[in-house]
């Protein structure tokens, strides 16, 4: 049954969204369709553009499936009129350069082995639209439309499933490609009015991701995290079909208790889902930042199952040190999907720091504490976003997340970081190795302790500009440094000028 907050829209069989569309790429699709018709075939819009048009959503990417024209004839005639990109040609797909238009012939996929790579792809232009629909994943993606007449062809009942809010597999061939489980995950997040059909859950429960390449897994997770309207729907689906077992860091969260006074929302799993959904409203449109934030929201409490215990004095649930315990688990989860050390490092720093902003704001901490936290977290702005997600996720069922009083503390943290000019990054060192070179010292290992002392002085506010940097260096014992020239001492006044 659909949640009350996720009623499905009424699909519009007249495809009003396409009728209102005057995008150049749709006009190009119509031009291609006219050419295909002149060659004795038929071109049909397929997949997401048709589904979104039925839902009244804007369409920006178009896929045309070409029926009745041999591949060599199609490529020859198309290339005579438009520049083509051969990327994807081995899978029967041609792309028109500089356009959001993909062209394909109906495909036959013959399973060769256990992995997603193990497919022999063959095309058959003589397949009917109804036969071609058999290879698609979900019925809502198997609806086709003629771009010239906007007639719909719906051999699998996808329009009705949209109306009922059901995500249903097209056929038993769904099980041939286990990546489709994660496609279902991100579809349920991107179209949260859909509910997975029981037979889809059962089919997915019998599949495994073990032979799937990491980059393909990451692609589906990125759609969940970057495009999902309600990512929690996708994660609940993974839990329902037992795919959390492939992500043990997440599998440990359901049932991990929390103190109901501070966490009326429920266990750590419920809290994590709410935090991840809260991150949707804080996305910036920058893929790198948004991925770091959403992953941090997903991973920020992964350490709680390892440290949660009842207090000996009060009998309440505590998870002391969970932010530290969460870091290696966050690293493990991210590396399972992305081979990106910079992303791993940023997520880990945000996760480890997520308890600190509220503490600083409550205690009225000084500038040094804020600067040191900026160094620890790397991105104070993303850290503030993560803390806001964490706070919004502690709302009682039916409550208003925006009414949480602790959000005022997050605003205070943001304002303090802005006043110190550290909202996007920690302060840049005012004293660098080149400044010591300018003083006449030869670079070497002894530079490290001196530069560290200077940066600590900068974080505390003792060094604020070139003049205070020069004064600080003048008071330091620099005898451990090697002088490059006998007159180097006379160059001391040039410190911090570079």
Residue 188, both tokens: 């349920």
Same domain for 308 and 408: yes
**Angle at Cα 274 formed by Cα 273 and Cα 277, nearest 5°?**
85
The whole-angstrom separation of Cα 353 and Cα 380 is 10
* 85 — pLDDT class (breaks 50, 70, 90): confident
Q: For residue 485, is pLDDT > 90?
A: no
Specify whether 273 is located in the same domain as 404.
Answer: yes
In a domain, 221, yes or no: no
Following DSSP, what letter does each residue of 170-204 receive, concatenated?
SSGGGGG-THHHHHHHHHHHHSTT-EE-HHHHHHH
Quick one: pLDDT band at residue 17, thresholds 50, 70, 90? low
* Close Cβ partners of 391 (under 8 Å, ≥ 6 residues apart): 401, 404, 406, 407, 410
Structure tokens given for 353: 């720091």
What secondary structure letter does DSSP report for 59?
-
Is the pLDDT at 114 greater than 70, yes or no?
Answer: no
| Parallel, antiparallel or unpaired: strands 62-67 and 42-46 | antiparallel
**Residue 347, Ramachandran bin (φ over 0: left; ψ between -120 and 50: alpha; else beta):** alpha
DSSP class of residue 464 equals -
pLDDT at position 59: 82
Mean pLDDT of 192-209: 96
Helix (H) or strand (E) holding 160: helix 158-164
Residue 46's nearest CA partner among 118, 146, 113, 193 is 146
187 falls within a domain: no
Stretch 435-457: mean pLDDT, rounded?
A: 93
Residues 415 and 437 in one domain: no
Q: Is residue 168 part of a domain?
A: no
Percent of the chain whose predicted confidence (pLDDT) is above 70: 89
Residue 90's pLDDT is 55
370 and 475 assigned to the same domain: no
Say which residues have a Cβ less than 8 Å from residue 298's Cβ, sequence separation at least 6: 225, 250, 272, 275, 276, 333
CATH number at residue 272: 1.10.3210
Please report where in the chains the tokens 């070409």 appear, as a residue: 66
Q: Output the pLDDT for position 8.
A: 65
Helix (H) or strand (E) holding 357: helix 356-363
Does one domain contain both 253 and 398? yes
Cα separation, 487 vs 483, whole angstroms = 9
Do 37 and 157 share a domain, yes or no? yes
Percent of the chain clearing pLDDT 90 (strictly above): 74
pTM: 0.88
pLDDT at 88: 54
Q: Say yes or no: 37 and 152 in one domain.
A: yes
Q: How many CA atoms lie within 13 A of 160 on its CB side?
A: 6
Say whether both 408 and 471 belong to one domain: no
182 lies in some domain: no
**Are residues 410 and 369 part of one domain?**
yes
Q: Which residues on adjacent β-strands are paired with residue 205?
A: none
CA dist 373 and 380 (Å) reads: 8
Per the listing, tokens 């399973």 go with 111
If asked whether residues 298 and 385 sit together in one domain, one would say yes
Reported as a single tens digit per residue, the pLDDT across 134-187 is 889 999 999 999 999 888 999 999 999 999 999 999 999 999 999 999 999 999
Please tell me the distance from the alpha carbon of residue 266 to that of residue 397, in angstroms, as a whole number.
9
The residue to which tokens 């013959």 are assigned: 110
CA separation for the pair 128, 108 (Å, rounded)? 12
Single residue among 127, 161, 195 that ends a domain in this structure: 161
Q: Which residues contact 192 (CB under 8 A, 6 or more apart)?
A: 6, 229, 230, 233
pLDDT band with cut points at 50, 70 and 90 for residue 124:
confident
Domain residue limits at 461: 433-494
* For residues 359-383, average pLDDT: 96
Q: Residue 416: in which H helix or E strand, if any? A: helix 407-419
Q: Which residues are CB-neighbours of 336 under 8 A, at least 6 positions away? A: 214, 247
Same domain, 131 and 52: yes
Q: CA 452, CA 416: separation in Å to the nearest integer? A: 24
pLDDT digits (tens, 9 = 90+) for 457-478: 999 999 999 999 999 998 998 8
- Which band of pLDDT confidence, cut at 50, 70 and 90, is reported for residue 490? very low
In this prediction, residue 495 carries a pLDDT of 45
């Amino acid at each position: 049954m659909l949640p009350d907050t996720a009623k499905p829209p009424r699909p519009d069989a007249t495809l009003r969204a396409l009728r209102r569309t005057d995008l150049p790429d749709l006009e190009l699709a119509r031009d291609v369709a006219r050419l295909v018709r002149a060659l004795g075939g038929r071109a049909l819009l397929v997949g997401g553009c048709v589904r979104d048009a039925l839902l009244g959503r804007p369409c920006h990417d178009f896929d045309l499936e070409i029926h009745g024209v041999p591949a060599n004839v199609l490529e020859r005639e198309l290339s005579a009129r438009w520049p083509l990109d051969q990327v994807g040609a081995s899978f029967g797909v041609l792309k028109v350069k500089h356009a959001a238009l993909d062209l394909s012939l109906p495909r036959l996929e013959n399973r060769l082995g256990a992995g997603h790579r193990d497919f022999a792809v063959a095309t058959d232009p003589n397949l009917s639209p109804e036969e071609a629909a058999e290879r698609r994943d979900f019925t809502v993606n198997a609806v086709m439309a003629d771009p010239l007449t906007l007639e719909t062809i719906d051999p699998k009942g996808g329009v009705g499933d949209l109306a009922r809010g059901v995500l249903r597999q097209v056929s038993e061939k769904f099980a041939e490609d286990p990546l489709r489980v994660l496609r279902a995950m991100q579809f349920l997040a991107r179209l949260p009015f859909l509910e997975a059909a029981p037979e889809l859950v059962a089919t997915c429960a019998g599949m495994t991701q073990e032979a799937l390449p990491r980059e393909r897994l990451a692609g589906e997770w990125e759609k969940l995290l970057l495009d999902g309207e309600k990512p929690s729907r996708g994660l609940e689906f993974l839990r329902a079909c037992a795919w959390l077992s492939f992500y043990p860091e997440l599998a440990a969260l359901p049932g991990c208790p929390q103190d109901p006074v501070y966490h009326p929302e429920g266990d750590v799993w419920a809290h994590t889902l709410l935090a991840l959904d809260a991150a949707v409203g804080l996305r910036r449109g920058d893929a790198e930042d948004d991925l770091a934030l959403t992953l941090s929201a997903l991973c920020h409490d992964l350490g709680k199952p390892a440290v949660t215990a009842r207090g000996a004095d009060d009998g309440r649930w505590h998870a002391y040190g969970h932010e530290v315990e969460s870091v290696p688990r966050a690293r493990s989860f991210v590396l399972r999907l992305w081979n990106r050390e910079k992303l791993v490092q940023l997520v880990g720093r945000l996760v480890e720091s997520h308890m600190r902003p509220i503490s600083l704001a409550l205690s009225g901490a000084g500038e040094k504490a804020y600067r040191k936290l900026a160094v620890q977290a790397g991105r104070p702005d993303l850290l503030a976003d993560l803390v806001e997600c964490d706070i919004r996720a502690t709302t009682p069922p039916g409550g208003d997340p925006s009414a949480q009083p602790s959000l005022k503390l997050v605003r205070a943290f943001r304002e303090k970081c802005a006043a110190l000019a550290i909202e996007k990054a920690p302060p840049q060192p005012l004293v660098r190795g080149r400044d010591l070179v300018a003083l006449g010292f030869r670079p070497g290992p002894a530079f490290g302790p001196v530069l560290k002392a200077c940066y600590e002085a900068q974080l505390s506010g003792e060094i604020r500009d070139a003049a205070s940097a020069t004064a600080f260096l003048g008071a330091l014992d620099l005898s451990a440094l090697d002088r490059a020239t006998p007159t180097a001492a006379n160059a001391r006044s040039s410190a911090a000028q570079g």
